[in-house]
A and B are shown apart, each in its own frame.
Chain A
Amino acid sequence: GAGVSQSPSNKVTEKGKDVELRCDPISGHTALYWYRQSLGQGLEFLIYFQGNSAPDKSGLPSDRFSAERTGGSVSTLTIQRTQQEDSAVYLCASSLRLAVAKNIQYFGAGTRLSVL
């Protein structure tokens, strides 16, 4: 596709269930990022991938959160044993090259996760 694609667009789950969020980046983009926006907060960095490896996982809030990327393309963010505080909009972004000052990150429309 032409842009970053995320699925599902909305997800409602019960507390304690596991969820998987998917991101399909722009073709050829080697860098991929996950962010989230909780209610009343700014966009918060979660994890960064370069190719299939994740050199920066510093934003993952707990060990219930994990992410992987396969084939240098699609990424999944998994949240285990969801809690109500996990409710947020989860955004994925991709970019072409890392070491360019004006490198732009292109965002998907996000997955709105609601944990009941």
Chain B
Amino acid sequence: ILNVEQSPQSLHVQEGDSTNFTCSFPSSNFYALHWYRWETAKSPEALFVMTLNGDEKKKGRISATLNTKEGYSYLYIKGSQPEDSATYLCASRGGGATNKLIFGTGTLLAVQP
């Protein structure tokens, strides 16, 4: 059974601050790591999916890194904006037939203008 943990649980920053969150996951039987952004009353939006140790992905001001040997991923937001306010979810997919994702409880980011 996978156990995915995220920290911090919530974060309040000022507009323009840069911030980062952590996702830890069991490194055994690892297959892929997903990051999603979830705004209230909307669909979770896929940000990144990473599979290889050392993977780095970037989308605008948001980037992510992956360490599969030690079982962690970081998500970075540079120059936070109020529209970045959302819950950021990470999910690990283990090997196996179903492709099911095991999610952490998320990091709630609030960016104050």
Contacts and interface: CB of A to CB of B under 8 A. Distances in A.
Nearest to B50: A102
User: Interface range on chain B: under 10, 10 to 19, 20 to 34, or 35 or more?
Assistant: 20 to 34
Contact of B91 (A43, A59, A98, A103): A43
Interface in B11-68: 31-32, 34, 36, 41-44, 46, 49, 51
A103 B41 contact: no
Interface in B65-106: 89, 91, 97-106
A90 interface: no
A106 interface: yes
Interface residues of A, number: 28
23 contacts: A4-B43, A35-B101, A40-B105, A42-B89, A42-B106, A43-B91, A43-B103, A44-B103, A48-B98, A48-B100, A55-B97, A56-B98, A98-B99, A101-B31, A101-B32, A102-B32, A102-B51, A103-B49, A103-B99, A104-B34, A105-B34, A109-B42, A110-B43
Sort A-B residue pairs by CB-CB distance and give the 10 closest, nearest first: A43-B103, A56-B98, A42-B105, A42-B103, A107-B44, A45-B100, A48-B98, A107-B43, A101-B51, A109-B43
Interface of A: 3-4, 31, 33, 35, 40-45, 48, 55-56, 59, 91, 95, 98, 101-110
